[in-house]
Amino acid sequence: MFFATKDLNQQRGLDSHGVELLQPMDTIRTISWMKEKAREARQDQRIIGLVPTMGALHCGHMALFDRAGKECAPVYASIFLNPTQFGPNEDLSKYPHPLDADLRKLTDAKVDAVFLPSAEEMYPAGFSTYVHVEGISDRLEGKSRPGHFRGVATVVLKLFEIVQPHYAYFGRKDAQQVRIIQKMVRDLDLDVHLVICPTVREPDGLALSSRNEYLSPEERKSAIVLFRALQAAQKQLLSGVTDTLELQRSMRNVLEREPRARVDYVEIVDAGTFEPLGRVTRRSYALLAVRIGNTRLIDNMLIEPAGDAFAVEL
């Protein structure tokens, strides 16, 4: 009985009197060490939660850690700037990587360990095995960023294999990515439960993103137009307009009024298949990708004919 209490307290980061201990977070840089650590946790019958990220952590990421902390112990973070999901002309080399600040945030969030693999170990010379989730990976983000989702699916499968988490946490901010990972998990019978968390937004509606850091103060003000366009579609839908062309037009109208915005795509698709729709008669996603200056931002909203987008998302 004494040992049971002690174990439980230790798992919660408390000493035997229930006083909070300062738990040092493990920083794990090799695949073999990460595997070993996770294997020990599984042998101890513990519930492993994994939150994969590319770092430059913000409150959107931290919401995933909060949720994981309520459901799992240990919680592992991964920070890996995955080269295979970036195209040759994309922002891999200038993607923000404030590692010290990230480690502090993870420590404050009581994350148990952070996995920081090197690109050389994740993709050793001669690496040639990739996961391609057919169909859905070639649309929207996949069409604009060829190979992007192949890189995402491959690295997520590798992380799942290395950590073998019971639960893995992803944000709805990347709705198409979520759907692709869900499909991969189902198609390959992976033994992991995916937890999808709502998009965290700034008070004015801009979805938090590591790429928001690239925006100048003027561009930051303009970036609100993405959320406004999504709201316009939802409002139109609630007023009875179900024709997707008309809904997309209302989104484009909002975006065109912002001189700094250049539309990449604006689409409304079935929320399950991500196939285009003629009419919105069931739960669907409005999705967009827009350049504000040189920064490409994406956002989405779950919409349905007789629903409130926020009520659906939460």
Structure tokens, 77: 């973070």
Question: Taking the complex as a whole, how short is the minimal distance between the CB of residue 174 and ligand AMP, in angstroms?
Answer: 4
What are 126's two structure tokens?
């001669």
| Cβ proximity to ligand AMP, 63 vs 223, nearer residue | 63
Comparing every residue's Cβ against ligand AMP, the nearest one is: 171
- 1-34: burial string, b at 16+ Cβ within 10 Å, e else: eeeeeeeebeeeebeeeeeeeeeebeebeebeeb
The nearer residue to ligand AMP, 192 or 277, going by C-beta atoms, is: 192
Tokens of 204: 């004015």
Q: Measured from the CB atom, is 228 or 252 closer to ligand AMP?
A: 228
Alpha-carbon distance of 105 to 265, in angstroms, equals: 34
Closest approach of ligand AMP to the CB of residue 196, in Å: 9
Tell me which residue of 296, 295, 234, 292 sits closest to 268, measured CA to CA. Answer: 234
To ligand AMP, the closest distance from the beta carbon of 199 in angstroms equals: 4
- The residues annotated as belonging to the active site are 61
> Which residues are near ligand AMP by CB under 6 A?
53-54, 60-61, 63-64, 170-171, 173-174, 197, 199-200, 207-210
- Least Cβ distance, residue 124 to ligand AMP (angstroms): 22
- Shortest approach of ligand AMP to residue 56 CB, angstroms? 7
HSE-CB for 168 with a 13 A CA cutoff: 23
| Contact predicate 246/268, CB 8 Å | no
What minimum distance in Å lies between the beta carbon of 54 and ligand AMP? 4
- Residue 238 to residue 307: CA distance in whole angstroms: 7
Cα–Cα distances in angstroms (integers) from residue 97 to residues 56, 101, 103, 140, 174, in the given order: 5, 9, 11, 27, 20
Nearest to 61 by CA among 72, 53, 69: 53
Check if the beta carbon of residue 209 is closer than 8 Å to that of residue 58.
Answer: yes
Closest CB to ligand AMP among residues 25, 62: 62
The whole-angstrom separation of Cα 247 and Cα 243 is 6
